[in-house]
Amino acid sequence: MKVDIKGQGSRGADETKRFVLSCKAGYSRWLIALGLWLAIANSFETIAFSQNPSSQSSLRTQRKFVCHEQSLEILITQLLRDLPSYANRASQRGRRLRRSSDIYSYMLVAGRPEFQPLPLKIDGSHTDGQKNTASDVEQVFFTTLERQYVGKKIVELEEFHWLFLTKTANNRRFVMMFSQIGTYPLQQPPSPPRDSSNGSVAQGIKAWLRDCQAGSVRVRSQP
């Protein structure tokens, strides 16, 4: 079966807008956690790189042509192309750990990215005196289409994701992610946004970012 998320037109755009609006109502508590994460992550990175300057130089060389200098749009385009395979591997690992599961999902495609951010109010100070602001955080909205197997029944699901990344001096890091889920084609409003930072999609994103930073992801040239 061939599915093209980009071709869903105004219906998909309307669902993305509804996701954004629903997120606006209840995301203040998430911003507190976001600010704390940024402060902790930045302090750890400062310590690690100050203790090993030779590693810092080596890592910069490795990332220069792969991940670090890519714009957010180019990076996300490549990420979404690769995400189904990464997320499906994460899902398979989870099933092996559980050993028995009557329900599992298989991602078919990821796409339809939106880069218009929601306003964030973050003002967290690091231990080194630097401050985090909303400009430290990059936001991406995107959609995935998944096929879920429930016993012998097949259900197709459309998920709407709100991804937070932060760009440091040397790489991009996963911060957190929230998701909504609905049937495909969408017949009723999707579920309320939930923290999906530990789900298989988020695990796939984290693994891809690690590979990208290590230089093992081949970034496809833009037409």
Q: What are the domain boundaries of the chain?
A: 8-214
Residue 164 has pLDDT above 70, yes or no: yes
Residue 69 main-chain phi, psi, to 5 deg:
-90, 5
Q: Strands, DSSP E only, in the chain? A: 103-114, 124-125, 131-132, 137-150, 153-167, 172-183, 194-195
Residue for token pair 């997120």: 23
* Most confident range, picked from 126-135, 160-169, 209-218: 160-169
pTM of the model: 0.66
For range 115-120, the mean pLDDT:
87
How far is 208 from 35, CA to CA, in rounded Å?
A: 24
